[in-house]
Structure 1
Amino acid sequence: MGCTDSKDQAQTPTTQGKIHGVPASANCMGPLLLGMDVGAAKLETCNLMEGAHMKPEFIKMNAFHQVPLLEEADGFALGESNAILRYLAAKYAPELYPADPKTRARINFALDVCGDTLYSKWLLVVCPVQGFRGPHEDLNKARDDLKKVMDAFATTFIGGKSGKFICGETLTIADYKAMPYLWALMQPVCEAQTGVKLSERMKTYVEDVMAAVKNNEMLKSAGGWSLAEHIASKKDALPDAQGVVVIVGEPGEKCIEPTKGPAKAEEKAAKVHGVPMSCNALSPILLAKNAGIGDIEMCNVMEGAHKQPEFLAKNPFGLVPTFEGSDGFCVGESGAMLRYMAGSYLKEVYPAADPKVTARIDWAVDAFASAVYPKWAKIVPPVMGFQPWASPEEQKKANTELADALTMWATSFLDSSTGKYVCGDTLTLAEYKVLPY
């Protein structure tokens, strides 16, 4: 499928699409709640236990055989939770994804944190309770790792004084994304079996978002498969955690407040903090250089520069890359930086006129990050000396998994009959993301 132009800008759904997924999945619930709230989609239960996501008709829509998956009445299909959220909001509820550049950058920062940095720690704590993974291997470490990320999340997005949501008093798709993960942590069985509790500030945040989301009842009741019902059904599956209760989501002393406004005009001195051997950092570095707005600012992670107070004031997660404009505006997460810079300084690589074109780019970027990168990370970092080599047997398996993931990505986004890039012959954000890897 190429990125042909479309003039369909309808803001009121005329037909209702489907979101293939399961209500017991926090990753599915954000897009599902939004789709239901705007009247654009309803749940189409995808029974993963019976392999519904591996059937030919599903794989035809999503070669990655993952949920959630949006299927519209005209046949348009879209994968990746964050891509679906952006698309539904852009098309049906733009007030949930404001065009203001700095507000949108904050939203995308939060979306990408939830999809990777936070989720990777959350799943090690919650998924064993749900029965989606084996029992906790090292619960104490998993809880400590989750606390670090959740505290940084609260410091960056929730703990300020500007309002009750991630963007102050404005409900956005970032809140639709974050809330289900936090709601799961609040369930009594999850608290008992993990010894993890949300801070009072985070509990208040969840309650505020729940009150603003019209179809929040699906989090509590869905024929036994809601997050609340599913977790409650696991009461006797694992023993209760012993020892000290870990409170997660405690904001730091100095929180980052939401900022509104355009990106700095005629920017020439923006910095992308990172290291040039990092493919994740190279993507925004290349875009910054090509747009003529800035360059790399070396951050020596080997010496802990990313953990210094002055860096944590820019990005409380202590991660590179981090964008810093010469006006002092900062944003983390590679994908969020790419969208901010492209939307403000290089619009042709991230066109916004057609939601379906933008959605295709978003899906390609997010699918590479979620489906390809984890496989790539088992192959290239050992070559670069960043982690030890696997055993020959494990290496063979890793090689096969990466080859399969790349094939799925190419099948989904590259079609030589329509052009050489994700969107035909038009270079886009997707190429900036993928090329360094």
Structure 2
Amino acid sequence: MNDRPTATNITLHKKKDKLCPDRIWIISKGRYTNFDLSRIWEGVKKQTAMVYNISELARYLLNPNPLQIKKKLVGCEIHYRTPLYNVKENIRKLLPQKLRGLLKDNQIPVEVLKSDWDTDNSPGKDDNFESHLNKITELLRPYNPIIKSLNKIDPSKVFDVVGICEDIGGHLSNLNIPGSIMDKLNYIRANISKDVGVILEKAYIADGLFEMKGFNFKSFDKNKSFRLIRFLINGISKACVLDSDNKVEFWIDDIKLVQYMLLFDQLIEIDPKLNSSLSLCTAGKAEPLKLLFSKPLEIDYSEAHLPEVYKGVFEKLNIGASKKNVVKRVLNKSQVGISFNYVPMSVYDKRRLFVNFSVMHNFKALEPIKNDLPLVYSEINKIASVTEAGKFYLLDSFRGYKDDK
């Protein structure tokens, strides 16, 4: 059997799909289906596989292909050539391999040029005003301190120019600019303080972290879905997404991503605050930024406030202080944090990063209190929901502006 899959078409057994939820959704519950895998993985015949429906948003989050997002170009790094670089490089070529490292270069510190000019146009202003503001910005461009600094640079002394970009949340990243040194310097001059296209390898940018700006929430169609299939090859779980023609669109290298999708959908269903935040994005009233899954968390509920869900249960069951402390201790285990960052669009306020943070708790963590506090255990069991990712319930949820105290 080949180590790599072969592409193509699979025919699924016909079965009426469950209607899509009346909300933004991510992934359906999986169902077992028998079909011929030989068309997508050589040497494997018909076997049982798990099939899911996924939404446009899930397809975006799972897709391993590059995407482009917009970030503001706020500056650049100027990397200078070391003195006598060409001469030393020619000498190195004449030396034996083991001696070339003896000829060291005198490093010149990287020069960082960063603009403090704020050219952010708050959303909601009319087109005439925005056009007028853009004209003024262009007239003032020659006076931008970065452009004035770039005009003093001798291109022959520069080894590389790297752009510095910033998103609305204040996160900085580097931008590789193609072309000659003059091309790169001209690019910075022409685009400083403007939004530029930045290419990301994929939406999943780091452990548990997804870039959300590349997805068009306003065009989200809850009735549109795609197929995701999951199966075993020699005991190893494999997964892929199919296109509308039931052809393999892409493979999912890390099965953990499917678990993230299940958790995300589970949370959307039980957290009204997150639902409200996502609805703002689909309505065009907010700009999404990042989605982060994090565990373990550092929320110590033995010291912090008691979550509302437990306040209600304790009051209903008249639980004493000593037993409350027993419960608090188990709350600190098996937490999963999911944060969704976005920027509300307001005519009046400057755009600020808004954070929706939810804490999901694995119901298994309550096993130690099952015998001593069966009524508490039973009450929480009523609100816990089960998916392949596990049995979880919403422990806590809060949101607010990042810089609020």
TM-score normalised by the chain length of structure 1: 0.22
Whichever structure has more strand as a proportion of its residues is: 2
Whichever structure has more helix as a proportion of its residues is: 1
Q: Which has the larger radius of gyration?
A: 2
